[in-house]
Amino acid sequence: MSLARLTQLKNEVAACTRCGLCKTRTNVVFGEGNPRARLMFIGEGPGRDEDLLGRPFVGAAGLLLDKMMASIGFNRNTVYIANIVKCRPPGNRDPQPDEAAACIGYLRSQVAIIKPKIIVCLGRISARYILGTDIRITRDRGVWHEVKGFWILPTYHPAALLRNEALKKDAWRDLLAIRAKYDEICSGGANES
Ligand code: URA
Ligand code: SF4
């Protein structure tokens, strides 16, 4: 059962020392949401608020993510939210390639357990580690990639939308595209929103 397997994985990650980020973290931020979600959002890594609380997207960017989800009829009980790295990079620097490489197996396990139909990459770092290093978010956002049965969409990170309001128009397009894809491929499922 997904919940039991996720809980087991969460306990394993809570003790992880596979990369140097373990030395400066307060809490591991495993991820949260519906273990059977069809829609999964993947960010970059915990910031200060997330590190303190041990939960993903609970700071300013997280509040915006909540609003973005709500605008298309989703919430934390109907989606799953995780990050590329589970421990906070000091000072909110980008995760380094060796840190992402050490950690991404956990994300792959989460995806394998939850089996979402739609994966939304929030921002450049997320999109690069999931879709490949040549992704440029301003150029490539809003384009669906069908990979191994998953529908994957890169879009702006909510923190970018807070810095630059002008990006919100395209972000809204992407949200509507997510809702439309969900209605197209996920209707009739067990955890409809
Ligand atoms: N930014 C992220 O990428 N992930 C979080 O969990 C919070 C902020
Ligand atoms: Fe382990 Fe990932 Fe934390 Fe590094 S970031 S210590 S790999 S859980």
Domain boundaries, the chain: 2-187
Residue 4, phi then psi, degrees to nearest 5: -65, -40
Q: If you measure from the C-alpha of residue 43 to the centroid of ligand 1, how many angstroms do you get, rounded to a whole number? A: 5
Sorted by sequence, the CB contacts under 8 Å of residue 116 that are 6+ apart come out as 37, 38, 39, 40, 80, 150
Q: If you measure from the C-alpha of residue 45 to the centroid of ligand 1, how many angstroms do you get, rounded to a whole number? A: 5
Radius of gyration of the chain (CA): 15
In order along its 193 residues, the chain shows pLDDT tens digits of: 899 999 999 999 999 999 999 999 999 999 999 999 999 999 999 999 999 999 999 999 999 999 999 999 999 999 999 999 999 999 999 999 999 999 999 999 999 999 999 999 999 999 999 999 899 999 999 999 999 999 999 999 999 999 999 999 999 999 999 999 999 999 765 454 4
- Closest ligand 2 atom number to CA of residue 16: 1
The model carries a pTM of 0.96
Regarding the beta carbon of 167 and ligand 2, being less than 6 Å apart is answered no
- Fold (topology level) of 2-187: Uracil-DNA Glycosylase, subunit E (3.40.470)
- Closest ligand 2 atom number to CA of residue 13: 8
